[in-house]
Amino acid sequence: MFISRSLRAKATQLRSSPLQIRNRRRSYYTVDHPDPTPFSETESAILSSALSRVPTHGFSQKALKLGARDAGYLDVSTNLFPRGTFDLVNYHLVTRRMALKEEVQFPELDTQSGNKLGVGARVRILALARLRANKDIIGKWQDAIAIMAQPSYVSASLSELARLSDEIWYLAGDKAVDASWYTKRATLSAIYSAAELHQTQDQSPNFIETERFLDSRLEDLRKVSSLAGGFGGWVGYTAQSAVNVLRSKGVKI
């Protein structure tokens, strides 16, 4: 996934109007109203099967067609997906986000400090778990980034990135609804996006280099003395640095 000027601008705008968000409730995920699965049974069957074809065929129409056949449907069934390969990318994003709730179990104590696990440590665990969920398709994720960067899909991609950030903070136990609500989520979006871009070049076992990169960005954030004043520049630097690394490798984004 990726960060863009639109996200930074939105975060700045929202931060400047704290009175508007003090009583804000989560619009798409609450304990009483969980985020519904946005895929029908047929769509899930085809997209799930197609995703298993991605390591070989990438996020492509061929993967979609083979997925339809694997699920017992005709090739024409791919017409269910008007956005084509982006729908396949989006399926991975949505299902991996929704799986965090069931798949991540927190230890009672922080292994480093021995203290009770705090919200920040939980955020790290969740972000790392989500990154590692890219394992099977990471070899084709640069293609997915290029698809998400297309003008038609930027808005939907940013919306899903925002949902992921919100989900991570929520599952980490952050219940604050003050003026920091948007800042924390936009910040995490920038960190996660940069880490995921870095991950596409990571050849280390179990993505240990990506884990170090994530920890470094989180530490950088802790060192920012005035988040309100330095946030925009920090996000821009974090995002652009990651994009420049990929461009140096020939990735067209």
The amino acid occupying position 222 is R
Q: Where are the alpha helices (DSSP H) in the chain?
A: 5-15, 41-57, 61-70, 85-103, 119-132, 141-148, 154-171, 180-199, 208-223, 227-248
Instruction: Provide the token pair at 100.
Output: 């965090």
Rounded Cα distance between 118 and 242, Å, is: 28
- Cross-strand bridge partners of residue 116: 109
Could you tell me the CA-to-CA distances from 46 to 95, 96, 100, 144 in Å, in that order? 14, 16, 22, 18
Q: Is 116 helix (H, G, I), strand (E, B) or coil?
A: strand
Return the higher-pLDDT residue of 125 and 109: 125
Residue 230 has pLDDT above 70, yes or no: no
- Taking the C-alpha atoms of residue 233 and residue 248, their distance in angstroms, rounded to an integer, is 22
Residue 117 carries which DSSP code?
A: P
Which residue matches tokens 């470094």? 216
Query: What does the alpha-carbon distance between residue 49 and residue 7 come to, in Å, rounded to a whole number?
Result: 32
pTM listed for this prediction: 0.78
Residue 35: band (very low, low, confident or very high) from pLDDT cuts 50, 70, 90: low
Per-range mean pLDDT, top range of 5-9, 30-34, 150-154:
150-154
What pLDDT score does 244 carry? 54
Q: For residue 96, name the pLDDT band (cuts at 50, 70, 90).
A: very high
- The model's pLDDT over 211-227, given as tens digits with 9 standing for 90+, comes to 999 999 998 877 763 44
Please report, as a single letter, which amino acid is at residue 203: Q
Q: pLDDT digit string (tens) for 118-147?
A: 888 999 999 999 999 999 999 999 999 999
DSSP assigned state of 140: G
pLDDT tens, 50-75? 999 999 999 999 999 999 999 999 99
Please indicate whether residue 126 or residue 115 has the higher confidence score (pLDDT): 126
Quickly state the pLDDT bin for 184 (edges 50, 70, 90).
confident
Chain position carrying tokens 């930027």: 154
Q: What is the C-alpha to C-alpha distance for residues 158 and 83, in angstroms, rounded to an integer? A: 16
d(CA 125, CA 119): 10
DSSP 225: S
109 bridge partner residues: 116
Block residue for tokens 């140096």: 248
Q: Is the pLDDT of residue 29 over 60?
A: no
Residue keyed to tokens 């991996």: 96
> From CA 202, how far away is CA 184, in angstroms rounded?
26
